[in-house]
Amino acid sequence: MAQESSSLATKRYAVVTGANKGIGYEICRQLASNGILVVLTARDEKRGLEAVQKLKDSGISDDLVIYHRLDVADPDSIVSLAEFVKNNFGKLDILSLDDQVITSSNLTIPIYLIKIKHKVNNAGIGGVALEADACQRAFEQTGEFPSGEQVWAEIGTQNYEMAEQCVKTNYYGARGMAEALAPLLQLSDSPRIVNVSSLLGLLKNIPNEWAKGLLNDVENLNEDRLDEVVNEFLKDFKEDLLGSKGWPTYLSAYVVAKAAMSAYTRILAKKYPSFCVNCLCPGYCKTDITANTGPFTAAEGAENAVRLALLPDGGPSGCFFYQKQMLPCF
């Protein structure tokens, strides 16, 4: 029994968002391969359950991956996921493993807190309607991620509704998850948050000096200031003022939302000094969001996120990584 309680005490738990496919799915595989129990979340139950089954079929142990529904753009869905985690892992008396329920009465340990340790905010959308063939042609021509207004005029169209949804998913979704799960992360002795951002969200890609200044003012950065930037962007988008107000003119919402997510990573790192909270660009990977273009596989992109999820205690926090490299400014 002592052995049982000590193995429970060292058990580690992770939540991964947007994990039914692409980089998120591979993050789940790699975390589970490291013996971590992963809550694979997806907004669509069928896709989520299929992903769990696929992991199990590929050799991941049944008790290392479980599905829970999560639409990061829906605050109620975030609450329900946080309750699920709390009820299943965040309390002493009920631990659900492989459909078995172990109650505290079966254990000799007096007090034991099951803690959620790792959280990877991976779910994301492009905020554009992508022309897959045009995207693939552009990639084949240069071997690089397509860039430039003219190129993007062929590849993707964007409108206000898409922009709003992109900000809601890529920035507010990650923020909502961090807010909801921080209390459970605080119960961990080595909490980690990994925000899957993008090089596209680097400040150099936002010509608007006011927004750039605000996002770069690390000392005074807070959630209200991020709201200000994001709201101003959406207002200018609605009024067709993107170019004249110095916002990016293609992949506009994606760039602004990822910049906000990266800045929010700094806020979180300051607010929770005992956490390692970092963001990263996983690299240009072949997944649905890139119309399956790019030099890297989803698994290679995932490795970069998993490295941050498994950082040793005392590791960096509030930083931006591009693959293995820490960038000095973002």
- Residues that bind ligand NAP in the complex, under the rule CB under 6 A: 17-18, 20-24, 42-44, 47, 70-73, 122-125, 169, 173, 196, 198, 281-282, 284-285, 287-290, 294, 298
With respect to ligand NAP, which residue has the nearer C-beta, 71 or 236? 71
CA distance 291 to 131: 8
Q: Could you confirm whether 254 is annotated as catalytic? A: yes
With respect to ligand NAP, which residue has the nearer C-beta, 114 or 123? 123
CA distance 222 to 319: 16
With respect to ligand NAP, which residue has the nearer C-beta, 172 or 188? 172
Minimum distance of ligand NAP from residue 315's CB (angstroms) = 21
Q: Which two tokens stand for residue 191?
A: 């909490």
CA distance 257 to 319: 17
Q: Which of 25, 250, 254, 272 is catalytic?
A: 254
Minimum distance of ligand NAP from residue 22's CB (angstroms) = 2
With respect to ligand NAP, which residue has the nearer C-beta, 44 or 98? 44
What is the CA angle 66-22-14, rounded to 5? 35
Q: What are phi and psi of 263, to 5 degrees?
A: -65, -40
Residue listed under structure tokens 């072949």: 286
The string over 188-224, giving b where at least 16 C-beta atoms fall within 10 Å of a residue's C-beta and e elsewhere, is: bebbbbbbbbbbbbbbebbebeebbebbeeeeebeee
Q: Which among 30, 18, 27, 37 is positioned nearest to 188, based on CA atoms? A: 37
With respect to ligand NAP, which residue has the nearer C-beta, 16 or 114? 16
DSSP assigned state of 114: -
The string over 249-270, giving b where at least 16 C-beta atoms fall within 10 Å of a residue's C-beta and e elsewhere, is: ebbbbbbbbbbbbbbbbbbbbe
Minimum distance of ligand NAP from residue 258's CB (angstroms) = 7
CA distance 48 to 124: 15
- 8 Å CB contact between 149 and 76: no
With respect to ligand NAP, which residue has the nearer C-beta, 190 or 283? 283
Q: Which two tokens stand for residue 101?
A: 């329920």
Phi and psi based region of residue 99 (left: phi greater than 0; alpha: psi -120 to 50; beta: remaining) = left
Catalytic residue numbers, as ranges? 254
